[in-house]
Amino acid sequence: MAKLVLKHLLAIRWFHWVNFPILFLMIWSGLLIYWAFPVYHLGPIELFPQWLFALLGLKFHLADGMALHFVFMWIFIANGILYVSYTLVSGEWRYLVPTSFSAFRDAWLVVLHDLHLHKDLPAQEKYNAAQQIAYTGIIVMGFGSLVTGLAIYKPVQLTWLTTLLGGYEFARLIHFALTMGYIGFFVVHIGQVILAGWNNFRSMVIGYELVKDGERS
């Protein structure tokens, strides 16, 4: 006997797939803005150096970048608020939010397991501890992008916020660092989705996962 188990609720699937292209567009337009003043380094390495955008023919796209960023931000914000509200109201947050400090130890064991350095996986419900930390962390990061974005978008009208976030330059740096965080998240996420296989990916589209006899749902 096998069974189909509803893994991802319809609303959650919509929030996820709406967020994917919008976040991509926010990152892309953000880079068009960043390239008007690309100053961040990682040690000696220039992040998104001038020659790269010259190569891509993207010099002087600041106006277009702003016109995209400040339009699509509304969808990004609305989708984020709806997602968080929905997980709270539906109770889905219980699976997503780590509830004890042991989550960090468990997450570490998950990482070791995924790197084939540890044999057993800790007990889990719908999501393992590493997933819980990642999926909760990404929401905190989204909120961080919103507030640091506001701080550099309206630094005079929202002086209190800009000051609270360490000033105009620092808020811009955090806003940028969070974007790098999304790219890092994306790389790991895609890797894990590939490793988890088709059944798992399909459940993010159709909602249901096929569970064979004796498997954990």
Contact residues toward other proteins (CB under 8 A) are: 1-7, 9, 17, 21, 33-34, 36-37, 39, 62-64, 66-68, 70-71, 74, 90-92, 154-157, 159, 163, 168-169, 172, 202, 205-208, 210, 217
Nearer to other proteins, 25 or 134 (CB): 25
Q: Which residues pair with 210 in a beta bridge?
A: 4
Q: Are 13 and 205 in contact (CB under 8 A)?
A: yes
Nearer to other proteins, 33 or 110 (CB): 33
What is the rounded radius of gyration, in angstroms, for the C-alpha atoms of the chain? Answer: 20
State how far the Cα of 180 lies from the Cα of 34, in Å rounded to an integer: 12
Q: How far is the CB of 213 from other proteins (least distance, A)?
A: 10
Burial tier of 85 (Cβ tally within 10 Å: 0-12, 13-18, 19+): exposed
Q: How far is the CB of 205 from other proteins (least distance, A)?
A: 5
Q: How far is the CB of 30 from other proteins (least distance, A)?
A: 11
In the three-class reduction of DSSP (H, G, I as helix; E, B as strand; rest coil), residue 121 is classed as coil
Q: How far is the CB of 118 from other proteins (least distance, A)?
A: 27
